[in-house]
């Protein structure tokens, strides 16, 4: 059983460029992930969890655009949380944001300091892309000995095979608990 007083929810990159039709890196299976993430966030808000939302956040000339099309450019519509989620958390005092330029939420951010200040026992995680930003953030959480719960149906990827691979890596190699929300 998760001790909710010592738990934290991390929502990874649920931004328009990933999960809204027409977004630069939109993938269709995001449509099944969005309602699950909304349910998880709503539940955790009602229980006064601390919530951390990571946001992919790039300058227009970011070197990552050698690998991927330009996306989540600072201040753009594509960089914002998808509309329903943004409306939910707009005035929630327990929401914190981490703006990241790389796959892991730890690289070049104050994420580690935020976690140390919150001192969670268990970290729950959902969001996109399972095999990129979710997995690299989870790996760093496990390196710091956090207990991690990954909501399989609250994560998604542009490739179902890579999603499944990442879930198995987080379970079998990183030692995370993999659960379904629904």
Give the pLDDT confidence score for residue 93 in this predicted structure. 84
Q: Where are the alpha helices (DSSP H) in the chain?
A: 16-19, 30-46, 83-89, 111-118, 135-143, 160-172
At 91, is the pLDDT very low, low, confident or very high (cuts 50, 70, 90)?
Answer: confident
Flag whether pLDDT at 1 surpasses 50: no
Q: What tokens were used for 36?
A: 């699950």
Rounded to whole angstroms, how far apart are CA atoms 154 and 166?
13
Q: What is the DSSP letter of 173?
A: T
% of the chain residues with pLDDT over 70 = 97
% of the chain residues with pLDDT over 90 = 90
What are the tens digits of pLDDT across the range 136-153? 999 999 999 999 999 999
Give the pLDDT confidence score for residue 6 in this predicted structure. 67
Query: Across residues 75-101, what is the average pLDDT?
Result: 94
Flag whether pLDDT at 45 surpasses 80: yes
Question: What predicted TM-score, i.e. pTM, was given to this entire model?
Answer: 0.94
Count Cβ atoms below 10 Å from residue 161 Cβ, excluding itself.
9
Flag whether pLDDT at 5 surpasses 60: no
Give the pLDDT confidence score for residue 4 in this predicted structure. 54
Query: Across residues 65-85, what is the average pLDDT?
Result: 96
Domain 4-179 has CATH 3.40.50.850: yes
Mean of pLDDT over the chain: 94
For the chain, domain boundaries: 4-179
Flag whether pLDDT at 57 surpasses 70: yes
Flag whether pLDDT at 70 surpasses 90: yes
- Whose CA is closest to 56, among 100, 2, 121? 100
């Amino acid at each position: 059983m998760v001790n909710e007083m010592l738990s934290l929810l991390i929502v990874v990159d649920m931004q328009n460029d990933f999960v809204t039709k027409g977004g630069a890196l939109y993938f269709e299976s995001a449509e099944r992930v969005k309602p699950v993430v909304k349910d998880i966030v709503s539940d955790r808000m009602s229980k006064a969890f601390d919530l951390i939302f990571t946001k992919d956040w790039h300058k227009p000339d970011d070197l990552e655009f050698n690998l991927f099309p330009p996306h989540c450019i600072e201040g753009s519509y594509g960089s914002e949380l998808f509309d329903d989620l943004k409306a939910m958390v707009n005035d929630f005092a327990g929401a914190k944001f981490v703006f990241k330029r790389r796959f892991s939420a730890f690289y070049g951010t104050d994420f580690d300091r935020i976690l140390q200040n919150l001192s969670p026992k268990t970290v729950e995680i959902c969001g996109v892309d399972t095999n990129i930003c979710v997995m690299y953030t989870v790996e760093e959480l496990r390196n710091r000995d956090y207990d991690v719960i990954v909501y399989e149906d609250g994560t998604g990827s542009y490739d179902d095979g890579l999603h499944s691979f990442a879930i198995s890596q987080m379970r079998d190699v990183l030692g995370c608990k993999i659960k379904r929300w629904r």
